[in-house]
Amino acid sequence: MSMNEPAMPLKNSFLEEVIKESKVDIRACYQCQKCSAGCPVVSAMDILPNQVIRQIQYGRREKVLTSGSIWICASCHTCSVRCPNDIDFAKVMDSLRHLALHSGMNAGEKEIPVFHKAFLDSIKSAGRIHELSLILRFKLKTRNFLKDAGLGWQMFRRGKIKVLPQSFTGGKEVKEIFNAYEKGATR
């Protein structure tokens, strides 16, 4: 972060929005960069984890919600474990993905948000992941039918992709969790 940055505003609406969504108080971050130093996918990010926090503190909503970093994050929780201030940054990234999906802004990554949504929709409808319906949802949205077709066929032949979903008795509870979250998220 540049030494010429203005003094951090004490509060702004985006900072409050992120804290409310994630329930993580990122105001305590003092930019030690331990999160970025331990992140296994940092080389593919356009904004480093500690910089994401700084940008939120400055209220730069569009810059953060259109960044590729929030979709590159693999939710490995290394940053959360390393933070000396107990800031659960992995949870913040999860909330930023949620806010980005509902913001109407163009995502910094094209296919990952589509896969993210297809993955959640698949679990919501069947209670657990069903790879074939996940692939179909993803392919219908991206219209890239041939990409990875060879790999998909090999997985199918080895029995890794089932035609029908496996039976699961907890589907109703999973739907209730989704519904409760969606109600809470829109409060």
Residues lying near ligand SF4 in the complex (CB under 6 A) are found at 29-35, 38-39, 41, 49-50, 53, 73-79, 82-83, 85, 87, 89-90, 93
Compute the Cα dihedral for 130, 131, 133, 137 and give only its sign.
positive
Secondary structure (DSSP) of 7-72: PPPS--HHHHHHHHHH---GGG-----HHHHH-TTGGG-SS-HHHHHHHHHTT-HHHHHT-SHHHH
Q: At CA 82, angle to CA 58 and CA 22, rounded to 5? A: 45
Are the CB atoms for 139 and 111 separated by under 8 Å? no
* Min separation Cβ 21 and ligand SF4, Å: 16
23 or 77: CB nearest ligand SF4:
77
* Min separation Cβ 179 and ligand SF4, Å: 27
65 or 135: CB nearest ligand SF4:
65
49 or 127: CB nearest ligand SF4:
49
* Alpha carbon distance 94, 137 (integer Å): 21
* Min separation Cβ 32 and ligand SF4, Å: 4
25 or 131: CB nearest ligand SF4:
25
